[in-house]
Structure 1
Amino acid sequence: MSSDFVAAIDLGSNSFHMIVARLSNGQVQVHDRLREMVQLAGGLDGRNRLSEESQRRALACLARFGQRLRHIPAEQIRIVGTNTLRQARNSAEFVARAEQLLGHKVEIVRGQEEARLIYLGVAHNVADIPGKRLVVDIGGGSTELIIGEKFDPLHLASLRMGCVSLSRACFGDGRVTAARLREAELLVQLNLEPVREEYLARGWNVATGASGSIKAIQGVLIGEGWSREGITLEALRRLRQALCEVRHTAAIAARWQLDPARARVFVGGFVVLHGLCEALGIEQLQVSEGALREGLIYDLLGRIRHEDVRDRTIADVITRFNLDEAQAGRVSATALALLRQVRAQWRLNGAEAPHVLGRAARLHEAGLLLTHDGHHRHGAYVLEHADLPGYSRDDQLLLAALVRRHRRAFPAAAFAHLPKQWTRSARRLCVLLRLAVVLHRSRSSEALPAISLHVDRRQLELGFPDGWLEAHPLTRADLQIEAGLLHQAGFKLRLGRTRTGPEPAQAPSGSVAP
């Protein structure tokens, strides 16, 4: 690494968090933490659009965070958005403004991926235990429940209820009454109903809570003398009675010395936690300092050390869908060999290009489990909508788009639905994938000859040794058909002789992409 430092930013529904750390002697040392209660979820209107005021407030926070990132390489930074940005219909507008301001990519992660990262952050920040751990994280717009063992999450759920959303729905004017508490508690039980029995059946040895809401509740309980450490169900019951007596969020702030912004969402967070503990029979809850942003740091360090969870995800999908690993490896190896020849001319020099292309190649037949005819469409649907650990929503969209267009029609607007900065590179990566798929259509284990690829913008020349195409007429016919399909997307493919130059594409028998 050109710098020892890594950084992560969590664009939460209630608070934005940033952590800057460095790896020293195998240990992660935190050098800086920043946190601001932006309450992004409070800016959602009835049409699920972020207000201009909430966007300005969030961007002002990110401008301050951005100063701390200036000397950290882009590949050592991760920035993720969670529930509110998943819900907001204009999240793309906000993300574009945030990326321009920060100069770094912002990922929106699905609920299951958020839960995985939370568990990773907690597991690295609490003492190891024998058996299973239940982790509870109450965010502004969602609550994550994870059962795991050591550093491995085993079962994850993301529920659409949080301290901001519940506070807005039931305590929007600040008044707290017994009737409103009962209404909020019913909403929590309704959200828990689909997962309650399953979680109780799985069981756990220790329960751990993370998030600002849980830390604030623990502070109140210890301050009142109702708990010595952590959170108990009995202490939560006493706090419920106290909330009925204070009757307003302003009084909550005064009584327990809470920041007014925290006080406004305190009751919603409390009702979620109390409801969870009652429904799941949690008598004692430990509290962790680590959460999503720490999980991002450890996940990022794994990528830097080439211990990328996305590789394990790809392997799991290959196993789950019983894909032909040998064929996937051949296509992947050839696609990557073609990429190495054109990276400079096509400006595909980013570190992610080979990863994206190699993984798309390995999964291009995911839809075959359903049917051969149209398997590219079925595979794309699966990859876009499945929970893929390590992938953001946009990353899955790109992976699915490449699989969707790896065969048959290739219209010029095939990638118009992707973020604008990805459109050109996605189209070019897809051309390489399509060529690799055609070259291995016979599914033969026989190695390909040295194949050269030269490009000049949208002009391509695929070169073969003298006589090889004549000896393989089906491959030649397939490539001629492919040339017509590529023409739809504005590319011109010509077949010629192998040229000397950059490494020619070869796929030895049984080769597998890195």
Structure 2
Amino acid sequence: MTTPNILASVDLGSNSFRLQICEVHPNSQLKVIDSFKEMVRFAGGLDEQKNLDEASQKRALECLARFGERLKGFQPEQVRAVATNTFRVAKNITDFVPRAEAALGFPIEIIAGREEARLIYTGVVHTLPPKGDKMLVIDIGGGSTEFVIGSELQPALTESLPLGCVTYSMRFFSNKISQKDFQAAITAARNEIQRIGKMMKRSGWDIAIGTSGSAKAIRDVLAAENPQTHDITYEGMKKIADKIIQAGSVKKARFSGMKSDRIEVFAGGLSVMMAAFEELGIEKMTVTDAALRDGVFYDLIGRQINEDMRDQTTKEFQQRYHASPNQGKRVAAAAQKFMESICHALNAPVQELSYWQQYINWAGMLHEIGIDIAHTGYHKHSAYILEHADMPGFSRKEQHTLSLLVLGHRGDIRKMVDLVDDQMMWFAILSLRLATLFCRARMPLELPPYTQLRSDNGNGFILRISQNWLNEHPLINGALGYESEQWQKVDIPFSVQPQ
């Protein structure tokens, strides 16, 4: 078993998979004690239908198994594995992820593009303090490119576009490279960047910073060609492109500053970077070694010291959609009490209860955000927002879980039958439904002593509650009768047992 101050991040990119292990020192300083990188070329396994072929899956699973061997002895709270663009776009990824998690030994979070951008920026801002300068950060990955602008700990703008060194190399540079190929790649990338260009230029920046493999490879080649060069410039990139075109391939150009594992994907990354310089009017770019994995570490540290980005996002969503924080707190607190009661009765593991209590809290705080769209069927609007919105700190799987909880918290329970396949999810949905039922008056409400939610020998649920209290709250008493009818529809008996 490893010590608690040892953390690990797993970055499953479209080009390479990385495992980094760090020791956390006082003041959240990180010391790298081990790192592994494998060029899996995951995006290279996508066919025209966006399905991953068997060869790419095999390479990925073998790599993850090796990572898993190194991570033996780590606790779940010490490891965070994030997956990026290829995991987002692959049509058959749902079948692959369980195999990947089994090989690694830890859950894998598929993060949205803007969440990837936020984590990249988090890594940059913690390792390269801006000193008040507004930064434009560009990270060219294997399948996507992230653009971020910010000067504080949290970014002001985050964008992710489907431009990658692997995908562009495969699309435009699979044969002998010509001037026409380079121009086609740059034009295609500029067309994508144009979508965000006006907004980015309106915001403005003081310095441009490149991160990750493509930016570092371009910098290294430029430095090898001209030792006085420390930054990336358009003129420098143009000379590199001309040399590649003249030679006909990156390999034949024989760049002394290029690592062998970058040769196959260098032209794609170079064309995307040139397009970014052209479209955004960038004059020069500094390169930092900070990357997504660093942001994952600092985000993980924040969760351990109760500075969880997910809590901040929850508060921001309440404000954005004008949801009552007080009502959210009431519902969340009541739902957590019901969930705790039933889990204790079933002797559920403490870790599992803690896991679901977290989701119940977020769901309770956010269950009414859809009211800002329409009161009728607001739970459906809330669920849609939670499923599809950019929510910094949350993975797609976490958003899906929240969406299901909120969708099920009111209305006909039959809609959840084909969506829920986990017993604990049913417990959480019932807890949230009861909480909203008891808190419907939107006023402080104390549940009577000895109120308990219990399992009826695995055949359903029993709510034990004071008969006198029910007599004093006839509306809630009537609503509990309706709730009992709802659970009968899905063959999960729910009854009230007055005390």
TM range (shorter): over 0.9
Aligned amino acid, residue 59 of structure 1: L
Q: Indicate the residue corresponding to 1:23 in structure 2.
A: 24
Give, as a single letter, the amino acid of the residue that structure 2 aligns with 1:238: K
Contact 1:438–1:475 (8 Å) recurs in 2: yes
- Structure 2 counterpart of 1:251: 252
Equivalent in the alignment of 1:279: 279
1:5–1:76 CA contact under 8 A, matched in 2: yes
Quote the Cα distance in structure 2 between the aligned partners of 1:458 and 1:386: 37
The Cα shift of 1:296 comes to 0.4
Q: Is the 8 A contact 1:227 1:235 kept in 2?
A: no
Offset at 1:257?
6.1
Query: CA shift at 1:478, angstroms?
Result: 0.1
Aligned equivalent of 2:126: 124
**Is 1:437 aligned to 2:440, yes or no?**
no
Deviation, 1:4, is 1.8
Amino acid corresponding to residue 148 of structure 1 in structure 2: G
- Determine the structure 1 residue equivalent to 2:107: 105
Supply the distance in 2 between the matched residues of 1:452 and 1:281 (Cα, whole angstroms): 64
Quote the RMSD (CA, aligned, Å). Answer: 1.7
Deviation at 1:489, TM superposition (A): 2.8
Q: Is 1:360 the equivalent of 2:363?
A: yes
* Structure-2 residue corresponding to 1:216: 217
TM-score, normalising length from structure 2? 0.95
Among residues 405, 410, 413, which one is paired with 1:407 in the alignment? 410
Aligned to 2:201: 200
Provide closer, same or farther for how the CA distance between residues 325 and 458 of structure 1 changes in structure 2, counting only shifts above 3 A. Answer: farther
CA contact (8 A) 2:140 2:269 kept: yes
**How many residues end up aligned between the 2 structures?**
492
- What is the DSSP-based 3-state SS (H/G/I as helix, E as strand, rest coil) of the residue aligned with 2:462? strand
Q: Give SS of 1:475's match.
A: helix
Residue identity opposite 2:131 in structure 1: I
Q: TM-score scaled by structure 1?
A: 0.92
Consecutive unaligned residues of structure 1, counting only runs of 5 or more, are 499-514
Q: Deviations over 1:291-346 (max 9, x none)?
A: 11111011011111111000000000111111122221111111111122122417
Letter in 2 for 1:224: E
Amino acid corresponding to residue 106 of structure 1 in structure 2? I
Give 1:475 shift.
Answer: 0.7
| Structure 2 CA distance for aligned equivalents of residues 342 and 468 of structure 1 | 21
Tell me, yes or no, if the aligned pair for 1:145 and 1:158 is still in contact at 8 Å: yes
Which structure 2 residues correspond to residues 379-418 of structure 1 after superposition, within 5 A? 379-411=382-414, 414=416, 416-417=418-419
The aligned residue for residue 448 of structure 1 is 447
Deviation at 1:258, TM superposition (A): 3.8
> Does the C-alpha gap of structure 1 residues 85 and 417 become closer, same or farther in structure 2, counting only changes over 3 Å?
farther
Aligned-residue offset at 1:470: 1.5
1:494 lines up with 2:492 in the alignment: no
Greater shift after overlay, 475-484 or 486-495?
A: 486-495
SS in 2 for 1:343: helix
Question: C-alpha separation between the residues in 1 aligned to 2:13 and 2:419?
Answer: 25
Aligned partner of 2:381 in structure 1 is 378
Unaligned runs of 5+ in 2: none
Q: Using a 3 Å threshold, how does the CA distance of structure 1 residues 214 and 458 change in structure 2: closer, same or farther?
A: farther
- Note the 1:297-336 alignment, pairs <5 A: 297-336=297-336
How far off is 1:462 after superposition?
A: 1.1
User: Any idea what SS the aligned residue of 2:406 has?
Assistant: helix
Q: Distance in 2 between matches of 1:225 and 1:354?
A: 57
CA contact (8 A) 2:439 2:445 kept: no
**Once the 2 structures are TM-superposed, how far is the Cα of residue 260 of structure 1 from its aligned partner?**
4.5
Partners of 1:127 and 1:228 in 2: CA distance: 23
- Displacement, 1:352? 2.0
What residue identity is the alignment partner of 2:141?
Answer: G
What residue in structure 2 maps to residue 509 of structure 1? Answer: none
